Amino acid sequence: MTQIKTEIIGVGTELLLGQIANTNAQWISEQMAENGFNVFHHAVVGDNLQRVMAQFEQSGKRSDVIIVTGGLGPTEDDMTREAFQKISNLEMVENGPSMDKIEAFFKKRNSVMTENNRRQARLFKGAEVIDNHVGMAPGMVVRHQNNIWIFLPGVPREMKAMITNTVLPYLKQHTGEHTVIKSTMLRFTGIGESRLEAELKDIIHSQSNPTVAPLAQNEGVAIRVTAKASSAKEALNLIENTKQQILSKVGAHFYGSDEQTLPEKVSGLLKDQGLFIGAAESLTGGMFMDRLISLRGASAVCRGGIVCYDVKVKENVLGVSPETIQQYGTISEQCAAEMAENICSVLDADVGISFTGAAGPETEEGNPPGTVFIGIHQVGKDTVVRKCIFQGDRNTIRERSVIKGFELVMNLLEKEY
Protein backbone atom coordinates (compact mmCIF):
# COMPACT_ATOMS: atom_id res chain seq x y z
CA MET A 1 0.00 0.00 0.00
CA THR A 2 1.54 3.30 -1.06
CA GLN A 3 -0.79 5.49 0.97
CA ILE A 4 -2.63 3.88 3.83
CA LYS A 5 -6.26 5.00 3.98
CA THR A 6 -7.65 4.56 7.46
CA GLU A 7 -11.26 4.70 8.56
CA ILE A 8 -12.83 4.68 12.02
CA ILE A 9 -16.31 3.29 12.65
CA GLY A 10 -18.21 3.69 15.90
CA VAL A 11 -21.03 1.17 16.45
CA GLY A 12 -23.80 2.08 18.87
CA THR A 13 -27.20 3.73 18.72
CA GLU A 14 -26.30 5.75 21.82
CA LEU A 15 -23.75 7.63 19.70
CA LEU A 16 -26.40 8.60 17.16
CA LEU A 17 -28.79 9.72 19.88
CA GLY A 18 -26.14 11.96 21.38
CA GLN A 19 -26.30 10.14 24.70
CA ILE A 20 -22.56 9.48 24.46
CA ALA A 21 -20.05 11.67 22.62
CA ASN A 22 -17.90 9.84 20.09
CA THR A 23 -14.61 10.70 21.80
CA ASN A 24 -13.13 7.37 20.69
CA ALA A 25 -12.87 8.52 17.08
CA GLN A 26 -11.19 11.78 18.06
CA TRP A 27 -8.63 10.03 20.26
CA ILE A 28 -7.87 7.32 17.70
CA SER A 29 -7.43 9.94 14.97
CA GLU A 30 -4.90 11.77 17.12
CA GLN A 31 -2.94 8.58 17.73
CA MET A 32 -3.04 7.61 14.07
CA ALA A 33 -1.77 11.02 13.00
CA GLU A 34 1.05 10.87 15.52
CA ASN A 35 2.12 7.63 13.90
CA GLY A 36 1.82 8.72 10.29
CA PHE A 37 -1.52 7.17 9.30
CA ASN A 38 -4.03 9.25 7.37
CA VAL A 39 -7.62 8.96 8.60
CA PHE A 40 -9.92 9.61 5.65
CA HIS A 41 -13.33 8.81 7.14
CA HIS A 42 -15.26 8.73 10.41
CA ALA A 43 -18.53 6.81 10.50
CA VAL A 44 -21.13 6.09 13.17
CA VAL A 45 -23.79 3.42 12.76
CA GLY A 46 -26.54 2.28 15.10
CA ASP A 47 -27.23 -1.19 16.47
CA ASN A 48 -28.97 -2.49 13.36
CA LEU A 49 -27.59 -5.54 11.59
CA GLN A 50 -28.41 -4.44 8.04
CA ARG A 51 -27.04 -0.94 8.54
CA VAL A 52 -23.84 -2.21 10.16
CA MET A 53 -23.36 -4.62 7.24
CA ALA A 54 -23.93 -1.81 4.73
CA GLN A 55 -21.41 0.38 6.50
CA PHE A 56 -18.82 -2.38 6.58
CA GLU A 57 -19.27 -3.05 2.86
CA GLN A 58 -18.82 0.63 2.02
CA SER A 59 -15.80 1.02 4.30
CA GLY A 60 -14.12 -2.09 2.88
CA LYS A 61 -14.29 -0.62 -0.63
CA ARG A 62 -12.74 2.75 0.21
CA SER A 63 -10.27 2.14 3.04
CA ASP A 64 -7.23 -0.03 3.70
CA VAL A 65 -7.42 -0.11 7.49
CA ILE A 66 -10.80 -0.08 9.23
CA ILE A 67 -10.93 0.36 13.01
CA VAL A 68 -14.27 -0.56 14.54
CA THR A 69 -15.15 0.30 18.13
CA GLY A 70 -18.18 -1.01 19.98
CA GLY A 71 -20.65 -3.84 19.51
CA LEU A 72 -18.50 -6.60 21.00
CA GLY A 73 -20.43 -7.03 24.24
CA PRO A 74 -22.63 -9.93 25.41
CA THR A 75 -26.10 -8.65 24.55
CA GLU A 76 -28.25 -9.08 21.45
CA ASP A 77 -27.67 -5.51 20.30
CA ASP A 78 -23.90 -6.14 20.18
CA MET A 79 -23.77 -7.24 16.57
CA THR A 80 -20.41 -6.11 15.19
CA ARG A 81 -19.11 -9.68 14.88
CA GLU A 82 -22.30 -10.97 13.32
CA ALA A 83 -22.44 -8.18 10.74
CA PHE A 84 -18.86 -8.75 9.66
CA GLN A 85 -19.38 -12.51 9.45
CA LYS A 86 -22.30 -12.01 7.06
CA ILE A 87 -20.27 -9.86 4.64
CA SER A 88 -17.06 -11.91 4.93
CA ASN A 89 -18.36 -15.51 5.39
CA LEU A 90 -15.51 -16.06 7.85
CA GLU A 91 -15.92 -18.76 10.50
CA MET A 92 -16.26 -17.72 14.13
CA VAL A 93 -14.87 -19.83 16.95
CA GLU A 94 -14.77 -19.55 20.69
CA ASN A 95 -11.33 -18.48 21.85
CA GLY A 96 -10.28 -20.64 24.80
CA PRO A 97 -7.99 -18.21 26.63
CA SER A 98 -10.54 -15.41 26.27
CA MET A 99 -13.30 -17.65 27.61
CA ASP A 100 -11.12 -18.69 30.54
CA LYS A 101 -10.56 -15.06 31.39
CA ILE A 102 -14.28 -14.27 31.28
CA GLU A 103 -15.13 -17.21 33.52
CA ALA A 104 -12.39 -16.24 35.96
CA PHE A 105 -13.78 -12.72 36.09
CA PHE A 106 -17.18 -13.94 37.35
CA LYS A 107 -15.65 -16.54 39.66
CA LYS A 108 -13.50 -13.94 41.34
CA ARG A 109 -16.61 -11.87 42.07
CA ASN A 110 -18.63 -14.89 43.26
CA SER A 111 -21.31 -14.24 40.65
CA VAL A 112 -22.97 -16.53 38.14
CA MET A 113 -21.97 -15.99 34.51
CA THR A 114 -24.94 -15.83 32.16
CA GLU A 115 -24.64 -17.81 28.95
CA ASN A 116 -24.68 -14.73 26.74
CA ASN A 117 -21.26 -13.74 28.09
CA ARG A 118 -19.78 -16.49 25.92
CA ARG A 119 -20.46 -14.20 22.95
CA GLN A 120 -17.57 -12.00 24.03
CA ALA A 121 -15.08 -14.82 23.44
CA ARG A 122 -16.19 -15.46 19.86
CA LEU A 123 -13.47 -14.52 17.40
CA PHE A 124 -12.93 -15.08 13.70
CA LYS A 125 -10.85 -18.11 12.91
CA GLY A 126 -7.28 -17.06 12.19
CA ALA A 127 -7.71 -13.60 13.69
CA GLU A 128 -4.97 -12.12 15.82
CA VAL A 129 -6.32 -11.73 19.33
CA ILE A 130 -5.86 -8.38 21.06
CA ASP A 131 -5.79 -9.06 24.78
CA ASN A 132 -8.00 -6.88 26.94
CA HIS A 133 -6.05 -6.23 30.13
CA VAL A 134 -8.59 -3.85 31.65
CA GLY A 135 -11.87 -5.49 30.63
CA MET A 136 -13.39 -8.74 29.39
CA ALA A 137 -14.10 -8.58 25.65
CA PRO A 138 -10.95 -9.18 23.58
CA GLY A 139 -10.27 -7.28 20.40
CA MET A 140 -9.03 -8.81 17.15
CA VAL A 141 -7.26 -8.06 13.92
CA VAL A 142 -8.67 -9.67 10.78
CA ARG A 143 -7.08 -9.53 7.32
CA HIS A 144 -9.75 -9.88 4.66
CA GLN A 145 -9.64 -9.06 0.94
CA ASN A 146 -6.58 -6.81 1.21
CA ASN A 147 -8.07 -4.91 4.14
CA ILE A 148 -6.99 -4.86 7.76
CA TRP A 149 -10.00 -4.90 10.05
CA ILE A 150 -9.46 -4.06 13.71
CA PHE A 151 -12.31 -4.73 16.14
CA LEU A 152 -12.13 -3.12 19.58
CA PRO A 153 -14.47 -2.66 22.54
CA GLY A 154 -16.20 0.70 22.79
CA VAL A 155 -15.18 1.31 26.43
CA PRO A 156 -12.58 4.09 26.08
CA ARG A 157 -10.05 2.84 28.63
CA GLU A 158 -10.13 -0.66 27.14
CA MET A 159 -9.86 0.64 23.58
CA LYS A 160 -7.00 3.02 24.39
CA ALA A 161 -4.90 0.32 25.99
CA MET A 162 -5.38 -1.95 22.97
CA ILE A 163 -4.54 0.81 20.47
CA THR A 164 -1.38 1.77 22.34
CA ASN A 165 -0.07 -1.67 23.22
CA THR A 166 -1.08 -3.75 20.20
CA VAL A 167 -2.77 -1.95 17.30
CA LEU A 168 -0.18 0.71 16.52
CA PRO A 169 2.80 -1.67 16.69
CA TYR A 170 0.89 -4.14 14.49
CA LEU A 171 0.05 -1.54 11.86
CA LYS A 172 3.60 -0.24 11.68
CA GLN A 173 4.91 -3.76 11.25
CA HIS A 174 2.39 -4.86 8.64
CA THR A 175 1.99 -1.69 6.55
CA GLY A 176 5.54 -0.40 6.44
CA GLU A 177 4.29 3.03 7.51
CA HIS A 178 7.05 4.75 9.48
CA THR A 179 6.16 8.41 9.22
CA VAL A 180 4.67 10.89 11.67
CA ILE A 181 2.05 13.58 11.18
CA LYS A 182 2.27 16.74 13.27
CA SER A 183 -0.13 19.66 13.39
CA THR A 184 -0.26 23.05 15.00
CA MET A 185 -2.99 25.65 15.23
CA LEU A 186 -2.06 29.28 14.66
CA ARG A 187 -4.67 31.55 16.23
CA PHE A 188 -5.66 35.02 15.04
CA THR A 189 -8.05 37.73 16.13
CA GLY A 190 -9.28 40.97 14.60
CA ILE A 191 -9.39 39.46 11.13
CA GLY A 192 -12.20 37.52 9.45
CA GLU A 193 -11.85 34.08 7.91
CA SER A 194 -12.41 35.34 4.36
CA ARG A 195 -9.82 38.09 4.67
CA LEU A 196 -7.32 35.75 6.31
CA GLU A 197 -7.75 33.30 3.46
CA ALA A 198 -7.33 36.09 0.90
CA GLU A 199 -4.10 37.27 2.54
CA LEU A 200 -2.73 33.72 2.49
CA LYS A 201 -4.10 32.60 -0.88
CA ASP A 202 -0.63 32.09 -2.40
CA ILE A 203 0.43 29.85 0.49
CA ILE A 204 -2.86 27.96 0.50
CA HIS A 205 -2.91 27.37 -3.27
CA SER A 206 0.69 26.14 -3.37
CA GLN A 207 0.42 23.90 -0.31
CA SER A 208 1.55 20.29 -0.43
CA ASN A 209 3.50 19.41 2.69
CA PRO A 210 2.73 21.05 5.06
CA THR A 211 -0.94 21.57 4.32
CA VAL A 212 -2.63 24.81 5.38
CA ALA A 213 -6.33 25.08 6.30
CA PRO A 214 -8.23 28.13 7.66
CA LEU A 215 -10.77 27.34 10.39
CA ALA A 216 -13.39 29.49 12.12
CA GLN A 217 -13.09 29.49 15.91
CA ASN A 218 -15.01 30.99 18.82
CA GLU A 219 -12.19 33.40 19.62
CA GLY A 220 -11.40 34.47 16.06
CA VAL A 221 -9.98 32.33 13.29
CA ALA A 222 -7.21 29.77 13.09
CA ILE A 223 -4.87 28.23 10.57
CA ARG A 224 -4.11 24.53 10.93
CA VAL A 225 -0.68 23.63 9.61
CA THR A 226 -0.06 19.87 9.19
CA ALA A 227 3.17 18.23 8.11
CA LYS A 228 4.09 14.62 7.39
CA ALA A 229 7.70 13.48 7.67
CA SER A 230 9.94 10.61 8.65
CA SER A 231 10.53 12.06 12.12
CA ALA A 232 8.83 14.42 14.52
CA LYS A 233 11.76 16.83 14.31
CA GLU A 234 11.55 17.02 10.53
CA ALA A 235 7.77 17.54 10.64
CA LEU A 236 8.11 20.33 13.22
CA ASN A 237 10.77 22.04 11.10
CA LEU A 238 8.43 21.98 8.10
CA ILE A 239 5.66 23.47 10.24
CA GLU A 240 7.93 26.21 11.60
CA ASN A 241 8.99 27.27 8.11
CA THR A 242 5.39 27.55 6.96
CA LYS A 243 4.42 29.32 10.18
CA GLN A 244 6.99 32.04 9.51
CA GLN A 245 5.65 32.50 5.97
CA ILE A 246 2.13 32.91 7.37
CA LEU A 247 3.17 35.34 10.10
CA SER A 248 5.07 37.47 7.59
CA LYS A 249 1.68 38.22 6.01
CA VAL A 250 -0.79 38.28 8.92
CA GLY A 251 1.41 38.30 12.01
CA ALA A 252 -0.20 41.50 13.30
CA HIS A 253 -3.35 39.47 14.11
CA PHE A 254 -1.57 36.46 15.62
CA TYR A 255 -2.03 35.83 19.32
CA GLY A 256 -1.01 32.23 20.02
CA SER A 257 -0.61 28.63 19.01
CA ASP A 258 -2.42 25.37 19.67
CA GLU A 259 -4.56 25.62 22.81
CA GLN A 260 -3.63 29.14 23.89
CA THR A 261 -6.65 31.38 24.40
CA LEU A 262 -7.08 35.14 24.19
CA PRO A 263 -7.60 35.43 27.98
CA GLU A 264 -4.36 33.51 28.52
CA LYS A 265 -2.56 35.84 26.12
CA VAL A 266 -3.90 38.95 27.86
CA SER A 267 -3.15 37.55 31.31
CA GLY A 268 0.44 36.85 30.25
CA LEU A 269 0.90 40.37 28.89
CA LEU A 270 -0.49 41.93 32.08
CA LYS A 271 1.77 39.77 34.22
CA ASP A 272 4.86 40.54 32.13
CA GLN A 273 4.21 44.27 32.46
CA GLY A 274 3.23 44.15 36.13
CA LEU A 275 -0.22 45.60 35.47
CA PHE A 276 -3.58 45.01 37.12
CA ILE A 277 -6.88 45.19 35.25
CA GLY A 278 -10.40 46.00 36.37
CA ALA A 279 -13.65 45.66 34.46
CA ALA A 280 -16.89 47.65 34.44
CA GLU A 281 -19.43 45.40 32.80
CA SER A 282 -22.97 46.29 31.87
CA LEU A 283 -24.28 44.06 29.07
CA THR A 284 -21.55 41.42 29.58
CA GLY A 285 -22.57 40.95 33.21
CA GLY A 286 -19.16 39.85 34.50
CA MET A 287 -18.27 37.51 31.63
CA PHE A 288 -14.99 39.29 30.83
CA MET A 289 -13.63 39.11 34.35
CA ASP A 290 -14.91 35.56 34.76
CA ARG A 291 -12.71 34.47 31.84
CA LEU A 292 -9.63 35.98 33.48
CA ILE A 293 -10.36 34.75 36.98
CA SER A 294 -10.83 31.22 35.61
CA LEU A 295 -7.12 31.16 34.79
CA ARG A 296 -4.46 30.04 37.21
CA GLY A 297 -2.57 32.98 38.69
CA ALA A 298 -5.41 35.43 38.10
CA SER A 299 -4.73 37.20 41.40
CA ALA A 300 -1.49 38.55 39.93
CA VAL A 301 -3.35 40.53 37.24
CA CYS A 302 -7.00 40.98 38.30
CA ARG A 303 -8.25 43.65 40.68
CA GLY A 304 -11.87 42.66 40.13
CA GLY A 305 -14.94 43.89 38.36
CA ILE A 306 -18.23 45.67 38.86
CA VAL A 307 -21.39 44.48 37.14
CA CYS A 308 -23.07 47.83 36.58
CA TYR A 309 -26.16 46.75 34.71
CA ASP A 310 -28.55 49.24 36.28
CA VAL A 311 -28.10 52.96 35.69
CA LYS A 312 -28.03 53.63 39.45
CA VAL A 313 -25.05 51.30 39.84
CA LYS A 314 -23.26 53.15 37.07
CA GLU A 315 -23.84 56.42 38.90
CA ASN A 316 -23.65 55.49 42.59
CA VAL A 317 -21.04 52.72 42.60
CA LEU A 318 -18.95 53.41 39.51
CA GLY A 319 -19.29 57.18 39.65
CA VAL A 320 -20.43 57.85 36.11
CA SER A 321 -21.68 61.44 35.88
CA PRO A 322 -25.50 61.78 35.84
CA GLU A 323 -25.02 64.60 33.33
CA THR A 324 -23.19 62.24 30.96
CA ILE A 325 -25.98 59.71 31.17
CA GLN A 326 -28.68 62.37 30.79
CA GLN A 327 -27.02 63.94 27.77
CA TYR A 328 -25.63 60.90 25.94
CA GLY A 329 -27.33 57.87 27.51
CA THR A 330 -25.82 54.76 29.05
CA ILE A 331 -25.19 53.22 25.64
CA SER A 332 -22.73 55.78 24.37
CA GLU A 333 -19.07 56.47 23.76
CA GLN A 334 -19.04 59.00 26.58
CA CYS A 335 -20.52 56.62 29.14
CA ALA A 336 -18.15 53.81 28.12
CA ALA A 337 -15.18 56.16 28.51
CA GLU A 338 -16.15 57.21 32.02
CA MET A 339 -16.81 53.62 33.01
CA ALA A 340 -13.32 52.54 31.85
CA GLU A 341 -11.62 55.47 33.57
CA ASN A 342 -13.58 55.23 36.81
CA ILE A 343 -13.06 51.49 37.26
CA CYS A 344 -9.33 52.19 37.45
CA SER A 345 -9.92 54.67 40.28
CA VAL A 346 -12.47 52.57 42.17
CA LEU A 347 -10.40 49.37 42.05
CA ASP A 348 -6.89 50.89 41.92
CA ALA A 349 -6.27 49.20 38.56
CA ASP A 350 -3.73 50.11 35.92
CA VAL A 351 -5.98 49.12 33.02
CA GLY A 352 -9.73 49.50 32.86
CA ILE A 353 -12.18 48.03 30.39
CA SER A 354 -15.87 48.77 30.09
CA PHE A 355 -18.78 47.23 28.22
CA THR A 356 -22.11 48.88 27.58
CA GLY A 357 -24.61 48.23 24.83
CA ALA A 358 -27.82 46.70 23.61
CA ALA A 359 -27.73 42.91 23.72
CA GLY A 360 -31.31 42.67 22.54
CA PRO A 361 -33.77 41.54 21.57
CA GLU A 362 -35.28 45.03 21.99
CA THR A 363 -33.87 48.37 20.88
CA GLU A 364 -32.44 50.30 23.83
CA GLU A 365 -32.06 54.09 23.99
CA GLY A 366 -32.53 54.17 20.23
CA ASN A 367 -29.72 51.67 19.66
CA PRO A 368 -30.53 48.47 17.73
CA PRO A 369 -29.52 45.10 19.23
CA GLY A 370 -25.84 44.41 18.73
CA THR A 371 -24.70 48.00 19.32
CA VAL A 372 -21.83 47.81 21.80
CA PHE A 373 -19.34 50.34 23.14
CA ILE A 374 -16.12 49.03 24.66
CA GLY A 375 -13.90 51.46 26.55
CA ILE A 376 -10.20 50.90 27.22
CA HIS A 377 -8.17 53.07 29.59
CA GLN A 378 -4.63 52.74 30.85
CA VAL A 379 -3.58 55.12 33.61
CA GLY A 380 -1.54 57.93 32.10
CA LYS A 381 -2.83 57.36 28.57
CA ASP A 382 -5.78 58.55 26.55
CA THR A 383 -9.00 56.58 26.77
CA VAL A 384 -10.17 54.91 23.59
CA VAL A 385 -13.70 53.67 22.91
CA ARG A 386 -14.65 51.28 20.13
CA LYS A 387 -18.17 51.14 18.76
CA CYS A 388 -19.02 47.64 17.50
CA ILE A 389 -22.04 46.22 15.74
CA PHE A 390 -22.42 42.50 16.42
CA GLN A 391 -24.88 40.06 14.88
CA GLY A 392 -26.59 37.18 16.67
CA ASP A 393 -28.84 36.50 19.60
CA ARG A 394 -28.45 38.03 23.03
CA ASN A 395 -25.82 35.63 24.34
CA THR A 396 -23.87 35.64 21.07
CA ILE A 397 -23.62 39.43 21.20
CA ARG A 398 -22.37 39.27 24.77
CA GLU A 399 -19.82 36.58 23.89
CA ARG A 400 -18.54 38.54 20.90
CA SER A 401 -18.26 41.67 23.01
CA VAL A 402 -16.03 39.86 25.50
CA ILE A 403 -13.82 38.46 22.74
CA LYS A 404 -13.47 41.92 21.19
CA GLY A 405 -12.62 43.28 24.62
CA PHE A 406 -9.73 40.86 25.01
CA GLU A 407 -8.53 41.75 21.52
CA LEU A 408 -8.50 45.47 22.37
CA VAL A 409 -6.65 44.93 25.65
CA MET A 410 -4.10 42.74 23.86
CA ASN A 411 -3.54 45.45 21.25
CA LEU A 412 -3.12 48.06 23.96
CA LEU A 413 -0.53 46.02 25.83
CA GLU A 414 1.32 45.17 22.64
CA LYS A 415 1.45 48.86 21.74
CA GLU A 416 -0.58 48.29 18.57
CA TYR A 417 -3.57 50.18 19.89
Render each residue's pLDDT in the chain as its tens digit; 417 residues. 457 899 999 999 999 999 999 999 999 999 998 888 989 999 999 999 999 999 999 999 999 999 999 998 887 778 999 999 999 999 999 988 888 888 887 888 888 888 888 888 899 999 999 998 888 889 999 999 999 999 999 999 999 999 999 999 999 888 877 788 889 999 999 998 899 999 999 998 888 899 998 888 878 899 999 998 988 899 999 999 999 999 999 999 999 999 899 999 999 999 999 999 999 999 999 999 999 999 999 999 999 999 999 999 999 999 999 999 999 999 999 999 999 999 999 999 999 999 999 999 999 999 999 999 999 999 999 999 999 999 999 999 999 999 999 999 999 999 744
Q: How many domains does the chain have?
A: 3
Return the pLDDT at 2.
55
Q: Please state whether the predicted TM-score (pTM) of the whole model is above 0.95.
A: no
Return the pLDDT at 29.
94
Kindly state whether residues 123 and 240 are assigned to the same domain.
no
- Number of Cβ atoms within 10 Å of the Cβ of 324: 18
Domain membership of residue 223 as a residue range: 180-257
Q: Which helix (H) or strand (E) segment is 384 a member of?
A: strand 384-389
Beta bridge partners of residue 277, listed in sequence order: 302, 351
- Residue 286 gets which letter from DSSP? T
Of 231, 257, 283, which residue is a domain's last?
Answer: 257
Kindly state whether residues 295 and 403 are assigned to the same domain.
yes
Of 147, 175, 203, which residue is a domain's last?
Answer: 175
Kindly state whether residues 287 and 154 are assigned to the same domain.
no
Q: Are 20 and 155 in contact (CB under 8 A)?
A: no
Kindly state whether residues 146 and 273 are assigned to the same domain.
no
Of 224, 257, 290, which residue is a domain's last?
Answer: 257
Nearest to 71 by CA among 135, 128, 155, 8: 155
Contacts of 292 by beta carbon, 8 Å cutoff, 6+ apart: 263, 266, 267, 277, 298, 301, 302
Kindly state whether residues 21 and 75 are assigned to the same domain.
yes
Kindly state whether residues 226 and 285 are assigned to the same domain.
no
Return the pLDDT at 417.
44
> Cα separation of 64 and 62, whole Å?
7
Kindly state whether residues 217 and 112 are assigned to the same domain.
no
CATH code of the domain in which 273 resides = 3.90.950.20
> Cα separation of 404 and 199, whole Å?
21
Kindly state whether residues 389 and 358 are assigned to the same domain.
yes
Kindly state whether residues 267 and 248 are assigned to the same domain.
no
CATH code of the domain in which 228 resides = 3.30.70.2860
Return the pLDDT at 177.
72
> Cα separation of 397 and 321, whole Å?
27
Kindly state whether residues 368 and 394 are assigned to the same domain.
yes
Kindly state whether residues 200 and 275 are assigned to the same domain.
no
CATH code of the domain in which 74 resides = 3.40.980.10
Nearest to 8 by CA among 211, 144, 113, 151: 151
- At residue 229, φ and ψ (nearest 5 deg) are -155, 175
Kindly state whether residues 77 and 97 are assigned to the same domain.
yes
- What's the burial of 255, exposed, middle or buried (CB within 10 Å: 0-12/13-18/19+)? buried
